[in-house]
Chains A and B, each alone.
Chain A
Amino acid sequence: MKDEHELLVGFAGDKKTIKVAVEAGEPVPWDLNTKYEVIGTRQPRIDGLVKATGTARYTFDVALPGMLQGAVLRSPHAKARLEAIDLTAAERMPGVRAAWAATVGSYVLHHGDEVAAVAADSLDIARDALAAIVVKYAVEKHAVTVEDAMKAGAPDVLPNKSGNVGGGANERRKAEVEEALAGCDVTWEGTFRTQVQVHTPLESHGTVCRWEGAEKLTVWASTQSTFSVRRDMAKRFNLAPTDVRVITRHMGGAFGSKLWAHAHCMICAELARKAKRPVKLMSDRKAEHTAHGNRPDSRQQMRIGMAKDGEIQAVSAVSWGTAGTSARGAGCFNTGIYELGEIYREHHDVLTNCGPAAPFRAPGRPQGIFALEGTLDMAAHKLGMDPLAFRALNDPSKLRAAERKLGAERIGWSRRNCGKRPQSGVSRGIGYAATTWPDTGSKPAEVTVEVTADGRVLVINGAQDIGTGTRTIMTMVAAEELGIPLALVSARLGDTNDGVGPASGGSKTAPSLMPAVRTAAYAAKMELLGVASGVLEVLVGDLAVTDGRIHKVAEPAKGVAWKDICARIPGGKLTGVGKRRDNFDKYQGVICGCQFAEVEVDVETGLVKVVKVVAVQDCGIALNKLTAEHQVIGGVIQGVAYALHEERIMDRASGRMLNTDFVNYKIAGSLDMPEIEPILFDVAAGSNNIGNLGIGEPPTIPTAAAIANAVFDATGTRCFEIPMTPMRVLAALAREEG
């Protein structure tokens, strides 16, 4: 049974009314007219204190009685057949309680691939035991760069697959777009390159596994998805999902690399089963860099054709990239923002004997946008058009137009250098790039809200907070719906014994989970109003809750304290349950945003310094502005490091990754910080009963593109390759000169 409601959605500059069908038991959706008490304010994290005082327990911190420490032996070779693995000496060592080995005859396919593992009384004993394992490798030829893997006569990266290059051309479509390009007034072409970027979360991958008998398993996991780990472990060990319990109260970062139960989780559970004791298996830093995921590199050949007034008529994007030993995952995405006319896309995944890729904050998009926005800047330059005017001409979105205008004002777009080549010293420039992300959240999610006699409220779900502030927005949504002070509400997350929840990936956590929180709070509220109705002898339909007071709708100044009614709850506790429903037809099907970067380039040293980034970002209605802004800041910082200094370096001869530590793999540090101005742009998205969207990924997509465009503005020189190290910038400058 559904009720139809009209919602006013959009933003001040573009409003519209949509009709939505609201299911029974669901609250009336919030929209552009809604006034909030708590939503949209700035609230410190409710788990901030435990983190700041070191009392928050991460997987790495779990200590159980009788727990053993695990360690994994990893391959020093990029490609080898495992001829023999002798665990005898290791197993005999005092303090070693269990061992595991990969199947003899199978292959290790990258530096850092798993070979064997032990569980011992201490980590030192475990490491000594690894040193005692005797492995016979039949080493084979490898290829660890795209160029080497694509050469004629290159060794096969995988043992049972001939050839390393996937994908193919669609010759007919290619010819059509060729013809379209040929008919354009103005064309431009160029090739862009991006590097392999490694996630490097501070808490390494790992789990603690404890069996209860042979049929029940508890897993403490450093994961972005408690329910995915439960699903995978249940499948691997032939258990019912409800016989696996996954616990993640706090976790130390992932950025996409911890979305399911990886090989090391299985090894840990295997060791725990053999030893009949709990085992903690946390990867070390070297394993974290070689074996636990990365963002693929790219080489993108771009061609664009325009009419002389600037209308884009055709674009061709042909790309290559390596996802390591994975046959797929290196695609580059540049869709969803501009109207590009006739489009041809051709992509080739190239296998290499390197650690397999894993989704990395907006997979495929920083690469794709780096090439696309660089192409658009060069096209604008060739046309003699202002880069923003060129974007505006080819971007139909009123929302992005408003965001662009706001950002341009904040950065001071009129201060651009316009590519005037400096003779010496430093030069400043400003660049632009846009972002988008398509995920708007989905089922399933089930939330329970408990109201107790003392007036306190607990919001419960089994998903995780990976550092984005999920716990806190749960309390804010519940407080808003219930009409009570935020201080009365707390949240419990991170245990699959509680209701099903989303993975924290795809920027989907908030839009998937929060509508279910609201529904659960609504259900609890209605039940409490039922109690109040009996006490006050007023119909439930005539009652409301405002500011911690239950009152007649018509008499907001009167009423009874929330706590006084709660004291009358039969049995002392009531619960409301909410499930995530399908999305409504919406104002906004995608998340939008844009960034402006100001850089300073020293043309004598090639050093690029990012001075300021203005990041305009929408996420539908921002629930907690304090934490939403922090997602923008964090995304920008990763984008700055991606633009300037992160890069996986593979040694072609040995097949090894050379920078397996933080000294040589350079993530951003405190001295690299630009001034960052995050600007949240509220839009009533109309997609769920709150109107919110996610925010984790979009802010990291355009940063490198904006920085590269700023370097072009500062110097008149296009650096086609990131990271833009001083060496690459100087080479680009020298190339232009000649």
Chain B
Amino acid sequence: MLNRRDFLKGVGATAAAGAALPALGCATGAGARAGAAAAETVGPDAVEVTLTINGRKQKLKLEPRVTLLDAIRDRIGLTGTKKVCDHGACGGCTVLRDGRPINSCMTLAIENEGAEITTIEGIGTPDAPSAVQAAFVAKDALQCGFCTPGMALSVHALLQRNPKASLDEIKKAVSGNLCRCGTYPRVFEAALAARKGGQS
């Protein structure tokens, strides 16, 4: 079974290394690094990476195999983003990259230089929650809370680009966020309420 480390080792060893970087990720489009690094090999030892998380630039030194998720949680210490399946199936690790929800476990930290990454901590705080977060609490759209950051970000991103989203569009927007406690119906209600509230 191919793991990330072997994949990168293999990539580094071939002349196709430079071209491989853009191919590394992201179904939603590679980060700025791809263009700049056309002939560059990285790793396996730690390299310097600058990530922009919630508007703040974070200078890190980490191995290329470290996922964006692990960088956010373990290096930067923002633990709102959760590790649940670590293979892109559940949405627990959802963050926003340039406003779009992605599974942060499925992208490497080094692929995200130049992108604006927003975590759940970036859209509101207990003292000043966003409309979506406040709606989640008011409508009781959570139980254990482990899926909640991912759910809230998916809803937040939807309402930012589509403030008049319908119930069907809301259901689809969170269809990549799994919840075992069974909060879906109230997540829908919270999204609808946040929508009515105007700004999200």
- Show the binding face of A for B, using Cβ within 8 Å: 44-45, 47-58, 60-61, 63, 122-124, 128, 199-204, 250-253, 255, 282, 284-285, 466-469, 626-627, 630, 633-638, 661-663, 667-671, 673, 676
Contacts and interface: CB of A to CB of B under 8 A. Distances in A.
A202 B84 contact: yes
B175 A633 contact: no
B57 interface: no
B78 A637 contact: no
Interface stretch (B11-19, B26-34, B109-117, B130-138): B130-138
Given A56-B145, A124-B65, A203-B144, A630 B186 contact: yes
B38 interface: no
Contact of A49 (B79, B133, B181): B133
B78 A54 contact: yes
A626 B184 CA distance: 15
Contacts of A55: 80, 121, 125-126
B119 interface: yes
A255 B138 CA distance: 25
A203 B83 CA distance: 8
A670 B187 contact: yes
Given A44-B137, A202-B178, 15 more contacts: A45-B137, A45-B140, A49-B137, A51-B142, A51-B148, A55-B80, A60-B79, A60-B82, A124-B63, A250-B144, A253-B146, A255-B180, A667-B178, A671-B175, A676-B185
Contacts of B147: 202
13 contacts: A45-B142, A48-B136, A48-B142, A55-B121, A57-B79, A63-B74, A253-B181, A633-B186, A634-B183, A637-B182, A637-B184, A662-B178, A667-B180
B125 to A, nearest CB: 6
A202 B63 contact: no
A128 B142 CA distance: 37
Given A54-B78, A124-B65, A202-B82, A633 B136 contact: no
Given A55-B125, A202-B90, A202-B92, A627 B140 contact: yes
Nearest to B92: A202
B79 A635 contact: no
A204 B92 CA distance: 12
Given A124-B66, A634-B143, A669 B148 contact: no
B35 interface: no
Q: Is the interface of A mostly helix, strand, loop or mixed?
A: loop
Contact of A51 (B70, B138, B145, B182): B145
A686 B140 CA distance: 29
Contact of B145 (A284, A467, A635): A467
Contacts of B138: 44
B146 A53 contact: no
B87 interface: yes
A252 B82 contact: yes
B86 A285 contact: yes
B152 interface: yes
Interface in B129-172: 129, 133-134, 136-138, 140, 142-149, 152, 171-172
Contacts of A635: 182
Most buried by B among A49, A50, A53, A201: A53
A672 B178 CA distance: 11
B128 to A, nearest CB: 9
A246 B90 CA distance: 29
B120 interface: yes
B47 interface: no
B146 A203 contact: yes
A661 B87 contact: yes
A633 B180 CA distance: 12
B85 interface: yes
Q: Which 4 A-B pairs have the closest CB atoms?
A: A54-B80, A467-B144, A51-B145, A252-B146
B176 to A, nearest CB: 8
B89 interface: yes
A701 B149 CA distance: 29
A7 to B, nearest CB: 31
Nearest to A49: B126
Contacts of A57: 79
A476 to B, nearest CB: 14
Contacts of B172: 670-671
Nearest to A55: B126
B126 A53 contact: yes
Nearest to B126: A49
B38 to A, nearest CB: 27
Contacts of A469: 143
Contacts of B77: 63
Given A49-B126, A49-B137, A55-B121, A467 B184 contact: no
B178 A630 contact: no
Nearest to B141: A52
Contact of A202 (B129, B180, B185): B180
B129 A49 contact: yes
B51 interface: no
A377 to B, nearest CB: 26
Nearest to B80: A54
Given A58-B146, A124-B63, A676-B185, A200 B180 contact: yes
B171 A671 contact: yes
Nearest to A624: B140
Contacts of A58: 79, 82, 146
